Amino acid sequence: MNHLISGVAKFQKDVFPAKEATFKKLANGQNPEVLFITCSDSRIDPNLVTQTGPGELFICRNAGNVVPPHSNQTGGMTASIEFAVAALGVEHIVICGHTDCGAMKGAIDPEALESLPHVKEWLGHCRVATDVVKERCGGNIDHSHLSEVTKENVIQQLQHIRTHPSVAAKLATNKIQLHGWVYDIETGSVLCYNESTRSFETIKQLYANTAQSTSKGAETR
């Protein structure tokens, strides 16, 4: 705890004064552009990875960057998604998985989670991802399939979030965009899901292609 306490003191002395105007503005409200859903893993820092500051991301975290399909049973993720989309008006939703994900290891081997019943039940939301990979591999999977399961889980959580009414309404009116990412802890690279090709590309490849398509569309109008 000592480094946390000294960190707060450093923030108050050195960091806050330099950004005081920003914090004064934020004290009266928030207007984030992005809902960023990622894993609770301590190695992931969304603001560091995206180089964003306070007020720019509305961040939701849980084991496995899971988005439960919408139901009438209220949960923290459901309420947070509804608030971010319907109340704050975010224009983008990023679901970001990561390498060496313990939750995905648990999804691959649920029998190892017998002593963690709530974790095991929560990771049931990842079953579609493991079943898809099993089907591709012709049966059993193990931790050698971790990367594939991690990517497939991001794809499936993108499907889940489409079932939330607030998201579905914004998608129908083209007022929101969905993004699926996988962050590599060791290299710092980010792979992004390209829905048109159903594959993951580097962030530079995907968004360069998107920018080019937008530019070409503008030229033809």
Residue list, annotated binding site for Zn(2+): 39, 41, 98, 101
Q: Please give the Cα distance from 130 to 107 (Å, whole number).
A: 7
- CB neighbour list of residue 135: distance below 8 Å, 6 or more residues apart: none
Instruction: Give me the torsion for CA of 18, 22, 25, 26, rounded to 10°.
Output: -110
The 10 Å Cβ neighbour count of residue 187 is 8
CB of 132 closer than 8 Å to CB of 154: no
The annotated binding site is made up of 39, 41, 98, 101
Query: Which phi and psi (to 5°) does residue 178 adopt?
Result: -105, 145
CB of 136 closer than 8 Å to CB of 147: no
Write the single-letter amino acid at 117: P
* Letter string b/e over residues 56-95, b meaning 16 or more CB atoms within 10 A of that residue's CB: bbbbbbbbbbbbbebeeeeeebbebbbebbeeeebeebbb
